[in-house]
Structure 1
Amino acid sequence: MIGANKIICTNNHVCQMFMHHRNFANKKINDINYQYLQRSKVPTMHFQKSLPRLPIPDLSKTGDRYLKAVRPLLNNDHYRAAEETTNDFITNEGKILQEKLVAKDKINKHTSYISEYWFDLYLRDRAPLPINYNPLITFVNDEKPEYNNQLIRSTNMLISAVRFMLSLREQILEPEVYHLNPKKSNTPLFRNVTSMLPEAISWYGAYLFKAFPLDMSQFVGLFGATRIPHLTKDVIFRDPNSKHIVVQKNGNFYIFDVLDADGNLLSPLEMLGNLSKIMNDNTPKAEHPLGILTTQNRDEWAKQREYLEATGNSETLKKIDSAIFNLVLDSDEIQEDKHKILKKYLHDDGLNRWFDKSFSLIVTSDGVAGINFEHSWGDGVAVLRFFQDIFAETTKNPFIHPDSKPADSNVTVQRLEFKLDDKSKQFIENAKNVYKSWCDSLSIDYILYEGLNKGACKKHKVSPDCIMQLAFQAAHHLLKGSFVGTYESCSTSAFKHGRTETMRPCTEQTKAFCEGLHSGKTSTEELRAVMQQCSLYHSELIKQAAMGQGFDRHMFALMKMAEENNIPRPKIFDSYDYKFLNKSILSTSTLSSPSVMAGGFGPVVKEGFGIGYSAFPDKLGAAVTSYKSHNDSSHFIEALHKSFIDITKILSG
């Protein structure tokens, strides 16, 4: 009940929430508690200096691991040839290349042996970014329906995103740490002790708590960054002092400052005022939406961008490049349609996108929100951390509410104008047609299977990740009767400048399980025993990969060393077995979090499947993409559903 000069509240929590919301909506922009999402006692980069370096695996172990990975894929004759080629490589060119790689690593202790090569691999590839590279992640909807309004959710996410960025800039964003035993290490004592340790030994202090700090070097790539196309190799542009964001609506581009002249975050109502102005702008859909050009082959787009800059658009493009990030306001309502959600966040029609930005936060007219991110600058660890932090704040402590009224002050919205001649307009028309044809060739489907979940897998003493991967192998075997190159991404962020390592989930054990399952001649007890073996070996491979003891990145680096030193390309890299293994017919990756509704990406090869998956507390889920001319993702989903049922029956006895 509200009186003349006081508030009487029978529910103390509700009362505090009301006061919090009312006060923060009108916060002064220099209020230090409003400026930052986090104020960590341990500086953001405190552990960076003492992070362990990514190890270069032993050459002979790499050879052994490689042969174990190709064994289930090859017949006896091909495998004998693989053994011969591999052993020859290990004893001859491999030794020379290993010595050179170790020597180079010793003089580059500031980074990892794979970092430069991995950036180069991404930036040199000329394939278009959408579908091929940019993944999607979508947020779970807010439990409070009124907060899923497009303007409210967009403003709250914008505020939280910039607060995250300011915490990062100020080096007070909580460092990313993997806590083996959170009850003992995710504590004030841990933060007090480690913050007092010198940076050079801080990692070792964390290790004594059985906590493992992760590499934070990628986080700077989140904001103020854009991948700019150049002939043969792109570059990543970064503006560490950017104050504005770019907003796309109906193919039009708008910018406005989210920080004032002193670098302080605008108040919530001022942020609302800027976005309200864009939402209420009646400018029709862009007749020539420039964003479609970012869907093209990188060399083609590089030439076109050079022409655009030469014809008076250089400064306008720089405003997009330097923006903190891209906020996309889409006019579709897609709440109940998972197929539409996957298509919208993976590729859409390209008319209201700028795929070159480090990430785009996309919000539909009914408040479904998600991220499409450019992959060269970083991996899932940085993106997921940002994703989880802004989801937590916007759903628990939002700054904007259904009754919030936009302010008129500090509204600096400008709509960007481009100078497009007939040649530029033709670029856009051609890109539209090519992109539509490409997107139409893609098949997307998904499965949510409630007969098994993460907890049930652990109860039966099998790895949930192994069960997912085993189901993918069984589904492919059921459809095609074969075993193929399979890629599972595994983070090596426990090491300085670690990126990812490949885990090879198609093993001799998974092959035996699939053949036994589909032959109908193997008992349930025998299949369960093989499944246990699959799980044990799978967990061992995951551990090896996460500890930098896989073989894929090592072999790739050895191949690059041969190129750098003008050494003839070793025979192994052109062998049947190496090419077969590295043609990733099943390309898989998982990002599990309570804040994630779905994640996915496109096939890596035309004949392949792209599989984004999660083992949830209440179900198993996967989004599958393929090209219609080669595969039907719905057929794979049907086979996957059968595989889940088969596995569930075997586990339950």
Structure 2
Amino acid sequence: MARLLTKSCLWKGGSPASTVPVMLRGYSAGSSDTEYLHKSIVPTMHFQKSLPRLPIPKLEETIKRYLNAQRPLLDDDQFRKTEQLTHSFQNGVGKELHEELVQQDKQNKHTSYISGPWFDMYLCAREPIVLNFNPFMSFTPDPKPEYNDQLLRATNMTVSAMRFLKTMRAGYLEPEIFHLNPAKSDTQRFKNLIRFVPSSLSWYGAYMVNAYPLDMSQYFRLFNSTRIPKLNKDELVSHENGRHLLVLRKGHFYVFDVLDKDGNVVKASEIQAHLKYILSDSSPAPEFPLGYLTSEERNTWAILRQKLMDNGNQSALQKIDSAVFCLCLDDFPIRDRVHLSHNMLHGSGSNRWFDKSFSIIMAEDGTSAINFEHSWGDGVAVLRFQNEVFKDSTEHPAVSPQSSAAPVDSSKAVQKLTFNLDDALKAAVTDTKKKFDAAVGSLTIAAMEFKRGGKEFLKTQKLSPDAVSQLSFQMAFLRQYGQTTATYESCSTAAFKHGRTETIRPATIYTKRCSEAFVKNPSKHSAAELREMLNECSKYHGQLTKEAAMGQGFDRHLFALRYLAAGKGMSLPELYQDPAYARINHNVLSTSTLTSPAVQLGGFAPVVADGFGVGYGVHDDWIGCNVSAYPQRDVKQFVQCVHQSLEDIYKLLEEKPGKK
């Protein structure tokens, strides 16, 4: 289940383009305190208490939506069988499970019905987290070229990251709010009023002016947090007292304090000096780089980690686990976007610690990205962090090309971690490296940029930009493989307390009909008919997106009912044994979108061996996608087919009405 359901929780989960616009906030008026990004007069967690609870959809609605999503994937006989199974589930065991789920939910008002099962799904998954779970989002380069120097940018980002940590922990970070009417709610007047509304009622005050505060419960796991491998189920740990940064370079591990004993950010010139010292270390790379072990199958890694502990490495591992975050300094420049994607998604494995909640990876030329472990949260917190760090480090850099590193003795301040490895552990590192190299060596990535137009043009045509992008993937797959396939698009449910994500199912009867018209029989249809099909796709996709954002999809509900049945030791209900259920959850097209001024591009691996991992963005005047695949699929041909599909759609839209 884990691999089938989770991979693209990031992109729309981060800040769904269709439901939550990305906001880059700056300093609050009059803030001159260098310790903080800003000082919001509305406390960070002001709305958390009164957030609405994630609704459990009505069972009959879930079944109806499930059948609608199955219709384009099944022939008539298959569909009839699935229809019978769903209706007997709805009237029998499904009804009992649903009633029990509703009762459980009523007894756990502090959380959402999906939160516990979702954590379990991630933490119980035994596959390696590299490629299967961890995604990446790369930073846009600093607009001032001279600031893209590795030492400068690493120093500035580290200082900005610490300002973010301090702002958040002090409760000064502006709450995350989705403003439907910013003129009314994203104002000083609103902030002055809402801060006096008690936390237990504050959400309702925001709702009155069409503002929707988002869940921020995941934010505390951003810093000082790590996923620890354990047999059968991993554990998330946070050590909020950790004051040091973990730096990896050439497979070596270094730590130094970035917060002093009073909790203040260490001087930027000192951080610069320590990073300069690390960059000047000419020691050869270790023969057995320990970072590879974090890419192992989780039970294997759990056993190896215990061996590391027994071998006297507890102190070094504790330093890694409790570090504020991980900074990976790579000693080579980035060649192109495909190289960027490979490096930030997996790299060589020797200079990474994939278990940390997130790592900032920075190449020699200052190209940087965040790679994050996915179990603790979705992209909501990560994207906010990335936006704030980008804005702060580019607009208020702590050091400049003219700055000098502080005259401090970094050899005393920086500790290089050493590890005791016996022959069995050395052999394990060598073995893991082979597996890692084989896995990442089988991944291909291709990027596509369609420059004929983007969001602005599509809006003049009254079409949803996201719907058009998703249609282009359906058309591309049909063009390449002659069929419609199971497709996953992730959408955040952060508008609810402890919401995670819901699935939008973009393969619909409308996209199937439209794709076949464009790809198989374009001459059969008039321009007006094709336009009408585009309108239908757009309208229905908009409805699915809205339903998902409001917690009214079907995937999470069915997942929770299955989880409940398993927890009770029941035999698996027939609905879940239906080959059609397995097929719709075998997400050949796993897609996710994100656009933000701070993000250059992002990506993730496919969730199934014969799938595509599609990260995409619709910009004002262009559309781009970054697609990954394993050998069973031809990724280069797929992105060409996507480009061709967009060409076909735009050609039609640019024609004068009335033309055949």
- State the TM bucket, normalised to the shorter chain: over 0.9
Aligned to 2:400: 401
Partner Cα distance (1:399, 1:51) in 2: 36
Aligned to 2:136: 136
Partner Cα distance (1:355, 1:448) in 2: 30
Q: What TM-score do you get using the length of structure 2 for normalisation?
A: 0.93
Partner Cα distance (1:286, 1:162) in 2: 30
Structure 2 matches for 1:200-215, cutoff 5 A? 200-215=200-215
Is 1:478–2:484 an aligned residue pair?
Answer: no
Cα deviations by residue, 1:128-163 (Å, 9 ceiling, x for unpaired): 111110001001111111000000000000000011
Partner Cα distance (1:292, 1:378) in 2: 23
Is 1:524–2:523 an aligned residue pair?
Answer: no
Aligned to 2:380: 381
Aligned to 1:627: 630
Aligned to 1:506: 507
Cα deviations by residue, 1:75-118 (Å, 9 ceiling, x for unpaired): 00000001100010001111100110010000100000000000
Aligned to 1:28: none
Aligned to 1:34, the other structure's residue is in SS state coil
Aligned to 1:455: 456
Aligned to 1:196, the other structure's residue is in SS state coil
Aligned to 1:489, the other structure's residue is in SS state strand
The 8 Å contact of residues 41 and 195 in structure 1, kept in 2 or not, is answered as yes
The 8 Å contact of residues 453 and 620 in structure 2, kept in 1 or not, is answered as no
Aligned to 1:468: 469
Runs (4 or more) in structure 1 with deviation over 6 Å come to none
Give the partner amino acid of 1:535: S
Is 1:337–2:339 an aligned residue pair?
Answer: no
Aligned to 2:261, the other structure's residue is in SS state coil
Partner Cα distance (2:117, 2:453) in 1: 40
Give the partner amino acid of 1:124: C
Is 1:314–2:314 an aligned residue pair?
Answer: yes
How far did 1:522 drift?
2.2
Is 1:195–2:195 an aligned residue pair?
Answer: yes
Partner Cα distance (1:32, 1:475) in 2: 52
Cα deviations by residue, 1:45-95 (Å, 9 ceiling, x for unpaired): 110000000000001000100000000000000000011000100011111
Partner Cα distance (2:102, 2:115) in 1: 14
Partner Cα distance (2:303, 2:528) in 1: 62
Structure 2 matches for 1:636-651, cutoff 5 A? 636-651=638-653
How far did 1:213 drift?
0.2
Aligned to 1:167: 167
Structure 2 matches for 1:114-263, cutoff 5 A? 114-263=114-263
Is 1:617–2:620 an aligned residue pair?
Answer: yes
The 8 Å contact of residues 178 and 213 in structure 2, kept in 1 or not, is answered as yes
- The answer to which structure, 1 or 2, has the higher relative contact order (CA under 8 A, 6+ apart) is 2
Partner Cα distance (1:466, 1:42) in 2: 36
Q: What TM-score do you get using the length of structure 1 for normalisation?
A: 0.94
The 8 Å contact of residues 270 and 410 in structure 1, kept in 2 or not, is answered as no
The 8 Å contact of residues 384 and 591 in structure 1, kept in 2 or not, is answered as no
Partner Cα distance (2:32, 2:252) in 1: 34
How far did 1:410 drift?
8.0
The 8 Å contact of residues 362 and 371 in structure 1, kept in 2 or not, is answered as yes
Partner Cα distance (1:481, 1:321) in 2: 48
Is 1:444–2:451 an aligned residue pair?
Answer: no
Partner Cα distance (1:545, 1:505) in 2: 12
Aligned to 1:600: 603
Partner Cα distance (1:59, 1:68) in 2: 14
Partner Cα distance (2:32, 2:475) in 1: 55
The 8 Å contact of residues 380 and 591 in structure 1, kept in 2 or not, is answered as no
Aligned to 1:33, the other structure's residue is in SS state coil
Give the partner amino acid of 1:640: V
Partner Cα distance (1:375, 1:156) in 2: 26
Identity %: 48
Aligned to 2:456, the other structure's residue is in SS state helix
How far did 1:270 drift?
1.5
How far did 1:527 drift?
1.2
Is 1:487–2:488 an aligned residue pair?
Answer: yes
Cα deviations by residue, 1:336-359 (Å, 9 ceiling, x for unpaired): 511100100011110100100000
Is 1:348–2:386 an aligned residue pair?
Answer: no
Aligned to 2:247, the other structure's residue is in SS state strand
Partner Cα distance (2:59, 2:386) in 1: 38
The 8 Å contact of residues 242 and 322 in structure 1, kept in 2 or not, is answered as yes
Aligned to 1:43: 43
Q: What's the RMSD between the two structures over aligned residues?
A: 1.1
How far did 1:519 drift?
2.0
Partner Cα distance (2:531, 2:299) in 1: 51
How far did 1:408 drift?
3.0
Give the partner amino acid of 1:393: D
Give the partner amino acid of 1:536: K
Structure 2: segments with no counterpart, 5+ residues: 1-30, 656-660
Aligned to 1:371: 370
Aligned to 1:541: 544
How far did 1:409 drift?
4.1
The 8 Å contact of residues 214 and 495 in structure 2, kept in 1 or not, is answered as yes
How far did 1:507 drift?
0.3
Partner Cα distance (2:637, 2:299) in 1: 35
Give the partner amino acid of 2:208: L
Identify the range of structure 1 (423-432 vs 82-91) with the bigger mean alpha-carbon deviation: 423-432
Aligned to 2:563: 560
Structure 1: segments with no counterpart, 5+ residues: 1-30
Aligned to 1:4: none
Aligned to 2:56: 56
Aligned to 1:13: none
Cα deviations by residue, 1:586-645 (Å, 9 ceiling, x for unpaired): 0011121121110110000001000001001221011111101x1121111111111111
Partner Cα distance (2:263, 2:558) in 1: 46
Partner Cα distance (2:324, 2:652) in 1: 50
The 8 Å contact of residues 268 and 399 in structure 1, kept in 2 or not, is answered as yes
